[in-house]
Amino acid sequence: MAAVFAATDGLSGVDSHIASTDARAVLADLALIPALAERPESTDYERSSFGEAWTDGTDARGAGNGCDTRNDILDRDLRDKVFTAIDSCPRAVASGELQSPYSGRWIVFRRGKGSGAKVQIDHIVPLAYAWSMGARRWEAVVRQRFANDPANLVAVDGEANQDKSDKQPSRWMPANAAFHCQYATQFVRVVRAYGLYLDRASYPVLRKALATC
């Protein structure tokens, strides 16, 4: 039987250094992102282009700690956690609670088939969108870093994640308006940091969201 132990520490929620970013600085970054008239159609996108899903073997921040990326984000974002040891992580979340930032709903997470799918890890800037907006030209190591970068990841309820799919801000924003500032901030910071393009229709949506900060 796997060992189970209760949480005594750990961070909860999305990266606080991003949450506290001055909205004016983010707006300045947004203005520097090059625009495309619209998102190009991409029939050649494959998830495998971004490497093995949730691998710990990347140069992303926090990687190489013995736990896969999915379990790192569950540990960061859930509260009232109990841990267990599994093959991919000696300190994996066995159970906990999440207030999904996308919907505002509280979800009880319990590891296992079915129940675990209620909480999913979302790429704020979707991988398929990134592929269309410049990532197809990156080296494989950069794509793998992007897919596992905690600045671009957040634990959310599965229903909201499926509703979002790979949509950009011009087509989807979280139902929870209180999270719009944070969502826009992270979206802009990630796009800017990785040198991606942005579809023109998403600019006013992101500016409106940043105005709520």
Mean pLDDT by 10 residues, the chain (213 residues): 32 41 90 97 94 97 97 98 97 97 96 83 99 98 98 98 98 98 97 98 98 95
What is the C-alpha separation between 117 and 115, in angstroms, rounded? 5
Q: Which pLDDT value is given to residue 10?
A: 31
Nearest to 96 by CA among 121, 76, 114: 76
Nearest to 188 by CA among 29, 14, 22: 29
Q: Which pLDDT value is given to residue 19?
A: 45
Q: Measured between alpha carbons, how far is residue 107 from residues 157, 159, 162, 164 in Å?
A: 7, 11, 16, 18
Q: Which pLDDT value is given to residue 16?
A: 41
Q: Which pLDDT value is given to residue 12?
A: 33
Q: Amino acid identity, residue 54? A: W
Helix (H), strand (E) at residue 102 = none
Q: Which pLDDT value is given to residue 29?
A: 97
Q: How many CB atoms lie within 10 A of CB 102?
A: 22
What is the C-alpha separation between 50 and 109, in angstroms, rounded? 27
